[in-house]
A and B are shown apart, each in its own frame.
Chain A
Amino acid sequence: MSDLVDVQINGEWHQFPKGTRMIEACREVGAEVPHYCYHPKLTSPGNCRMCLVQMGMPPRPAPGAEPAQPDEDGHVPISWMPRPVIACANTVAPNMGIRTQGELTENVREGVMELMLANHPLDCPICDQAGECHLQEYSVEHGKGEGRFREQKVKKPKNVDVGPRIRLDDERCIMCSRCIRFMDEVADDPVLGFTDRGSHTTLAVYPGRELDSNYSLNTADLCPVGALTSNDFRFQMRVWFMKEINTIDTNCGTGANITVYARQGEIFRIKPRQNNSVNSDWMPDSHRLSFHWINDEETRLTSALAKDENGNHQVVTNENAYAIAAAKLSKYKGHEIAIIASARMTNEELFMVKRLAKHLKAKIVETVPRTGEADGYLISEDRNPNTLGVKTVLGLDDPGSQLESIKDDIKQGQIHALITLQEDLITDAGFTDDDLAGLDVLISSYPCANPTAERSDVVLPGGCWAEKSGTMLNIQGRLQRLNKVTDGPGTTEEPWEVIRNLQQALGGGNGIHSHTEIFNQLAETIPVFAGVKFQDIGDLGIPLVETDETLPLLEREKERVAQGLIVG
């Protein structure tokens, strides 16, 4: 208890751990302090002055005088300072008083807002930030409502090409320096800085360099105004028209928490969502921008296909597709059937794969590994989002190790039928036409047209990551929820539905109507999941499996927290 200090905030006494920043203490008790430059993951330069609050301390007794007597609650009266202090960089102290309301604080905020807007262009109607702009929000909450600035505004560079994915409007910049600090402290690529001084201070990229880090788009998220905008999202959609869905990134085993912004089924942008155990507040550009194919109806599979007697694909209803597939599969015995599933599938889908395999008595169930170089920040070597789920749910110790033997078995005529789910074997699993030539039946399900589908007897459109719900286990063993953003195009179904319907067509029973139902069965049958309820997972996930994997960016963040440089 000795590490807690008593602090009065707006007249009420609270206790906070020693070292808590005033701004965080206020936030905790619902007295939000407006701020621009402060960010808990970055150092605090205290430059925006928006978080000025009134502060007081017990009075220091004059020499020889008795110290003030505490009241019955043990609190001494507070002597309020005439000047405001910044709440972002100062920490709480015993018997400190903070006023986030009242004349002094309100006047100061009004003054800072007026100055902040003095040279800021009034171009909200054409600014991408409008609707999620702190300058707009704080103007309403703390501003004067009327500006007295009658002078010519400072002219600065506009539409500056600072990097391949970011555009800069210097007139909108309020010099909070968040982007500069992010590139320096988090991305280790300090290419941004200020030039000139006073009102002419201009954000710029170092001469001869570009803001081209794979984490550059985080600066656009951090920018409290519309100075840094994403080339990709710029002018695409007003933010208030979009629906926000919290889900996770599936580009690698990290499973960065994200928010997907979509309107009428179309995805417009993805932003990282804070999860201090996974991705902090950040995500790599490469993962953020990898969604565009989802909107591309040219390449998407929009209906089920089955080959006619001439070997040409014909559009069929999903029901017919399942019936045709079931009819073809039922000609083979279990040991003649292999299933290649995907580590991009959710735990629920993998559970359904397991169930299907059991029903078919399939000889082999396998998934396709996918690896790349870890970037030392948030991108993990494992580029599949749910390898741990494959290991846990399917029980595969070394996913991908049986792919070669499947090829051999096909060649040697031991495997006649292959079901591939959410994988394109030719592009991603090293299969050749030749490898697949020995099959009698190839059934595939995938979101897009692909070479494997081209060879398939039956093609079932299965939704991609944005079109399905479920859970995944990231490399650290954290169980996280994937939430459906939108329906897939045409007759696309969620992959778990595809598997259920196929099994139903094979006479394998029914009884499952939702992914949460599958999760419940999973929790009942797979020991690792025992006792976990779907609703307990929440938006931030829960640690489930112990692994020794760490994320370098998070480790460095922890160090900075330990050094007291950032709040974290």
Chain B
Amino acid sequence: MTFMKAWTTSTLSLPNTPDPIFLTAPQNHPNHRTYPLPTMSAITYKSGKEPHPNERRIIFKNVDREGWDQSIDTYEGEGGYDQLKRAVAMEPGAVTNEVKSAGLRGRGGAGFPAGLKWSFLPPNNTKPVYLICNADESEPGTFKDRYIIHQDPHQLIEGMAIAAFAVGAKLAYIYIREEFPQGAEILEKAITEAREKGYLGKNILGTDFELEIYVHRGAGAYICGEETGLIESLEGKRPYPRIKPPYFPAAMGLYLCPTIVNNVETLCHVRHILEMGGEEWSKVGTPNNTGTRILCVSGDVKKPGYFEVEVGKVTMGELINDMCGGLKDGRSLKAVIPGGSSAKVLRADETFKVGKGDDCKEISIWDIPMDFDTLAACGSMAGSGGVIVIDDSRSISWVLNNINNFYAHESCGQCTPCREGSLWMKKITDRLVADKAAPSDIETLDAVARNIDGQTICAFGEASSWPTESFVEKFKDELIADTKPELENTPVNAEKELAAAGLL
């Protein structure tokens, strides 16, 4: 087939071809390597939106790109859908194997290996298989998927089509959060274009492969991003996460059929894995933390934004100081939440033990490479890539209360610990920021969090309790400083207060 030839001659030979543009990982990083960037020579970005030299743009190659639009013609002009053409000529299992050998880890939060997830589909399955793209990007601090959807929708559709081919799905859904109405329209237009061109529908590219993708608008809740909650919502029900076992999506997912749920960024990577080859792709990033990922930096930095970097090739210090222009003038770093608001907070003056055996060493927050394993070793997580920077102007009580507010508002209410605990924690920190808390309230706060952690149906329990646990662990003094010991034995009569306020 002609497109196979095109692939063989151009792309596969690329790594050996010297290329003038190199994007380099930090020179001091142990895994430092340089790679040629395939087709970026001609790319220019909109003024003021240029990628930082530390970036390696694969997924975000076309984001903020000069002259780029969302049309399929533009996408095809850059080799779009070539990888789908390539995939349908392969065995589905071979595609999965490429993804496995690439070592692609999910970009939604948990970092679970995507290829392994796909291989959990039951053998000898006779039911339909569904593919769901989780575009319910709602973790506070995370804003990457929206740019893919808004600016490069066909990349997602191509990735989904390849993934659907690999897992044997004929029907795929994009579950997009309610708050992205424009994104949903863009995707629907892109799907129409792709169907007109024969990349979706029946007999895709002249093969037996068929696929329909539908856009499903979300229900406006954080919990809709939890994969089983998402499935329930897609089925038209309240997004109550399901118990696992038995409802592992790969076996009993949408309509109790085998279902694969992947994040937007994860699915986009599939396209590039095919383009580069799994082996080659796995050389991007660091071992076990392969590929690039998009870090979304928000908070107290001069230049917040999104940065696509090779996983583990950029340290926290490089991210904050180089890529984000550093902290605001005259401020110092207090803490960083490295993987979306549910990740455990890292204190600026902590040291972290990373590495095993002989490689074991203590590093400061600035030297943490932003990869899955290191951030886990530091007691937090890479999560969804939302890096929230907190400087010394922030009150920790206020930050925690803000986070608690979010989780109390978003707890679905299905299971007891999270339902009751998230609001309780919020009410305690509400008092804390209103100067109405006693020192013992901090102990209660921590105890409530630990009563949620590990005892809920879904990971929301951890998401809502980890911030409190880590803030209390690392900033106990500061939290206690915001309390008033004289309130310790003051009887609290909440009902009386409500009555006095005319609320009862």
Contact = CB atoms under 8 A, between A and B. Distances in A.
A154 B423 contact: yes
A419 B252 CA distance: 66
A65 to B, nearest CB: 19
5 contacts: A45-B240, A48-B416, A151-B492, A197-B412, A198-B412
B498 A152 contact: yes
Interface string B389-422: 0000000000000000000111111111101111
Contacts, number: 115
A536 interface: no
Given A46-B457, A114-B451, A198-B409, A175 B419 contact: yes
A47 B414 contact: yes
A152 B444 CA distance: 15
B427 interface: yes
Nearest to B494: A152
A90 B447 CA distance: 27
Given A151-B428, A198-B409, A115 B492 contact: no
Given A83-B454, A198-B410, A153 B494 contact: yes
Contacts of B495: 152-153
B447 A150 contact: no
A151 B426 CA distance: 10
Across the A-B interface, the 9 shortest Cβ-Cβ residue pairs: A201-B413, A111-B451, A152-B494, A151-B427, A199-B423, A115-B420, A198-B411, A46-B243, A150-B492
Residue with the greatest number of chain B CB neighbours at <10 A, chosen from A50, A84, A152, A175: A152
B438 to A, nearest CB: 9
A381 B423 CA distance: 52
B406 to A, nearest CB: 11
B444 A148 contact: yes
A473 interface: no
A200 interface: yes
A49 B494 contact: no
Interface string A251-290: 0000000000000000000000000000000000000000
B497 A152 contact: yes
A90 B246 CA distance: 8
Consensus secondary structure, chain A interface: loop
Given A46-B243, A86-B243, 7 more contacts: A47-B457, A48-B415, A115-B421, A151-B492, A151-B494, A197-B223, A198-B409
A116 B455 contact: no
Nearest to A36: B416
Contacts of B475: none
A544 B395 CA distance: 77
B357 interface: no
Nearest to A152: B494
A115 B238 CA distance: 23
Nearest to A197: B413
Given A52-B455, A83-B454, A198-B419, A149 B240 contact: no
A119 interface: yes
Contacts of B421: 115, 118
A186 interface: no
A546 interface: no
Interface in B228-263: 238, 240, 243, 245-246
Contacts of A197: 221, 223, 410-413
A89 B503 CA distance: 41
Contacts of B11: none
A47 B431 CA distance: 29
B424 interface: yes
Contacts of B414: 45, 47, 175
B456 interface: yes
Interface in B147-190: none
Contact of A108 (B428, B448, B455, B494): B455
A31 to B, nearest CB: 20
A47 B455 contact: no
A126 to B, nearest CB: 16
B409 A47 contact: no
A161 B115 CA distance: 53
Nearest to A83: B454
Interface in B461-504: 492, 494-495, 497-498, 503-504
A112 interface: yes
Contacts of B441: 150
B424 A118 contact: yes
B460 to A, nearest CB: 10
B451 A115 contact: yes
